[in-house]
Amino acid sequence: MADKKARQYSVLTIKKLYALSGNRCAFPNCGVTFLNWEDDTNFSNICHIEDANQNTHKADRYNSKMTSNERADYNNLLLLCPNHHIETNNPENFTVDALRDMKRNNEEDVLQKLAGQNLITKNPSALNIVIGSLGSSIFDNTTVNDPSSAPDPVEKILYNNVVRYKSIIEEYKVYQGRLNKVYEEIEKQGSTKKEFVLLNIRTAYLIEKKKYSSIEEIRANADNIIEKVETKLWHLIENSSNANTHLPIEAIQISLYVVLVDAFMRCSILEEPPKQ
């Protein structure tokens, strides 16, 4: 039976897909752009990485353990041109991992280009919206304190074996000062959102950490752990009353990276290197 909910995408999911696709097919070296601005023609197909429905006649990428919402989630979707959509329907040549790598590589290229566009400066309210969304409620009553001395980010990246997110951490750590000023302004208004934001991020990390029994396993899965935390935070933003669909979604995503990297620097995500 067809899973209709697997194709019910949220507004922010659609906007994020197009924004971080760079308006182009994710297939390597494909020159097809999606939108023809002259007549509004759209050449894109929304494709599921792990299939929306099970195909009983051949091998597929269907995951019976996924929920309908997970199948319709941003992390399970990528944009392809019609020809490459058909080509990637062959699960033997294009596995789940291959499609995830295809999407990541395309997004990394797009994010590198976005980094030079000063989107946070041009959209100063984006950081406030992200903080408001992530700090609107807390998961539990645990208290979170800043480390007495934050570890060197290079050492922490190496210690945790961060690979995919290394460039993101290096790119957005420079915004920590600006983020601190936003936190200070919010706290002057009597809000404790900074504490709530860090608590939610720390809690999201600890939930993922429970899946691994040793630092070796954490190091082997560091990027996947960060990605899982990022996904949980994005869902908080998506479901928050603070979400503003009129802002460029790229500015919201980059603001989320700034908050995520700041939390990494404050040791709310991954493990602190042992002190010498």
**Whole-angstrom distance, CA of residue 42 vs CA of residue 38:** 11
SS3 57: coil
**Whole-angstrom distance, CA of residue 165 vs CA of residue 147:** 22
- Closest to 182 (Cα-Cα) out of 243, 258, 248, 236: 258
**Whole-angstrom distance, CA of residue 250 vs CA of residue 260:** 15
pLDDT score for 148: 47
Query: Is the overall model pTM greater than 0.85, yes or no?
Result: yes
Annotate 250-271 with b (16+ C-beta within 10 A) or e (fewer): bbbbbbbbbbbbbbbbbbbbbb
Q: How far is Cα of residue 157 from the mean position of the Cα atoms in its chain?
A: 18
Q: What is the dihedral of CA 192, 229, 124, 18, to 10 degrees?
A: -150
Output the tens digit of pLDDT for each of the chain's 276 residues. Answer: 567 889 999 988 999 999 999 989 999 999 888 876 666 778 899 999 999 988 755 668 999 999 999 999 999 999 999 999 999 999 889 999 999 999 999 999 998 888 888 888 899 889 988 998 898 766 555 555 554 456 788 999 999 999 999 999 999 999 888 898 888 888 887 777 888 899 999 999 999 999 999 999 999 999 999 999 999 999 988 888 766 667 889 999 999 999 999 999 988 899 999 876
DSSP at 4: G
Residue 96 one-letter amino acid: V
End-to-end CA distance of the chain: 59
204 Rama class: left (phi>0) / alpha (psi -120 to 50) / beta: alpha
**Whole-angstrom distance, CA of residue 248 vs CA of residue 221:** 31
Dihedral of alpha carbons 270, 144, 254, 66, sign = positive
Contacts for 65-70: CB closer than 8 Å, 24+ residues apart: 68/3, 68/5, 68/6, 68/8, 69/5
